[in-house]
């Protein structure tokens, strides 16, 4: 081996990140009906919503099935009706046989890129079930709210006449104490939330045997600019499934976990045969 060859080898050994380029998914399935498969190295893998696609993959959509996929980098959306076979390229798709794909663009792609693992994991953290506890908070358990007077919700697994509600700021200052009946409470206008401050709230009560039970959560008020962006990109009522799915991802990734959860519920009902969507609700 000559001197130049040795230097080249040494360079790549010292800089392994340059020696092997990391491969990223170029597209993702954001809606589907029926059965479709991705052919990878001659192996067929059944796909679902959130399935990632790489350059070189081949997608086979069965008769009466349909798939919608998006390309992150150029904001292209392809709708494919089966039967059809397409080849996944770096920035587009190549029609192989069957029905030809239809292409359009949506602006929401500028704001949302979905990490499938993050979607399921974040939802699980936000709403981990507490089946063995007498009380469970149902919202505002982390993340942001756009509402300056949010409504706090909880579930009493053993009905009680009264519970104690407390709200404190991140410095430990008590902002509100209230004895309540029921399982919801809307913040009164006399309490002013500030952006950039993390608030903690709790609900506690006492069981018949005298044992005290409680649950608590944290939240913060979203900034005006983030709320404006949220409202600006919110899809219309008649928006397609993929656009609403992207919006749900944006909500979750920007801290609006409660709003995202409500939307995931609706999307999962519309696609009851999608294990991936069900996974967002396992909490």
Provide the domain limits for residue 154. Answer: 113-283
First-residue to last-residue Cα distance in the chain = 59
Q: How far apart are CA 60 and CA 88, in angstroms?
A: 11
pLDDT 10s digits, 149-180:
999 999 988 777 789 999 999 999 999 999 99
pLDDT 10s digits, 179-194:
999 899 999 999 999 9
Task: Examine the domain organization and report whether 96 and 127 are in the same domain.
Answer: no
DSSP assignment, residue 110?
G
Query: What pLDDT score was predicted for residue 112?
Result: 63
Cis peptide bond N-terminal to 83, omega within 30:
yes
Query: pTM to 2 decimals?
Result: 0.81
Task: Examine the domain organization and report whether 157 and 251 are in the same domain.
Answer: yes
Tell me if 30 sits within 8 A of 48, measured CB to CB.
no
**Of the residues 41, 72, 105, the one at which a domain ends:** 105
Using CA atoms, how far residue 51 sits from 38, 68, 69, 94, 153, in Å, is 9, 11, 9, 19, 34
**Of the residues 70, 105, 140, the one at which a domain ends:** 105
Task: Examine the domain organization and report whether 83 and 148 are in the same domain.
Answer: no
Task: Examine the domain organization and report whether 283 and 166 are in the same domain.
Answer: yes
Q: Is 5 helix (H, G, I), strand (E, B) or coil?
A: helix
Domain count, the chain: 2
Query: What pLDDT score was predicted for residue 152?
Result: 97
Q: How far apart are CA 94 and CA 96, in angstroms?
A: 6
Task: Examine the domain organization and report whether 91 and 159 are in the same domain.
Answer: no
**Of the residues 85, 105, 125, the one at which a domain ends:** 105
Task: Examine the domain organization and report whether 279 and 195 are in the same domain.
Answer: yes
Mean pLDDT, the chain, rounded, equals: 84
CATH of the domain at 238: 2.60.40.1220
Buried b (16+ CB within 10 A) or exposed e, 169-186: eeeeeebeeeeeeebebe
Higher pLDDT, 91 or 20: 91
Task: Examine the domain organization and report whether 100 and 118 are in the same domain.
Answer: no
């Amino acid at each position: 081996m000559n001197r130049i060859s040795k230097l080249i080898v040494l360079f790549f050994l010292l800089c392994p990140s340059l020696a092997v380029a990391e491969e990223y998914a170029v597209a993702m399935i954001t809606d589907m009906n029926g059965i479709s498969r991705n052919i990878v190295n001659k192996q067929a893998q059944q796909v679902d919503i959130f399935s990632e696609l790489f350059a070189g993959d081949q997608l086979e959509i069965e008769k009466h099935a349909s798939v919608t996929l998006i390309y992150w980098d150029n904001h292209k959306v392809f709708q494919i009706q089966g039967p059809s076979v397409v080849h996944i390229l770096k920035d587009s798709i190549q029609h192989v046989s069957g029905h030809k794909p239809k292409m359009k663009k949506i602006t929401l792609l500028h704001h949302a890129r979905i990490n499938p693992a993050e979607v399921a994991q974040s939802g699980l953290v936000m709403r981990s079930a507490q089946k063995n506890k007498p009380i469970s908070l149902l919202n505002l358990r982390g993340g942001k709210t756009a509402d300056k007077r949010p409504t706090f919700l909880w579930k009493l697994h053993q009905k009680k006449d009264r519970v104690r509600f407390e709200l404190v700021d991140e410095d430990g200052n008590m902002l509100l104490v209230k004895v309540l009946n029921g399982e919801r409470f809307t913040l009164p206008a006399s309490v002013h939330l500030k952006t950039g401050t993390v608030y903690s709230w709790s609900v506690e009560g006492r069981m018949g045997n005298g044992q005290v039970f409680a649950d608590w959560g944290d939240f913060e008020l979203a900034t005006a600019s983030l709320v404006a962006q949220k409202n600006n990109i919110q899809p219309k009522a008649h928006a397609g499934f993929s656009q609403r799915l992207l919006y749900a991802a944006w909500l979750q990734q920007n801290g609006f976990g409660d709003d995202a959860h409500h939307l995931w519920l609706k999307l999962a009902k519309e696609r009851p045969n999608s294990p991936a969507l069900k996974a967002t609700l396992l909490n």
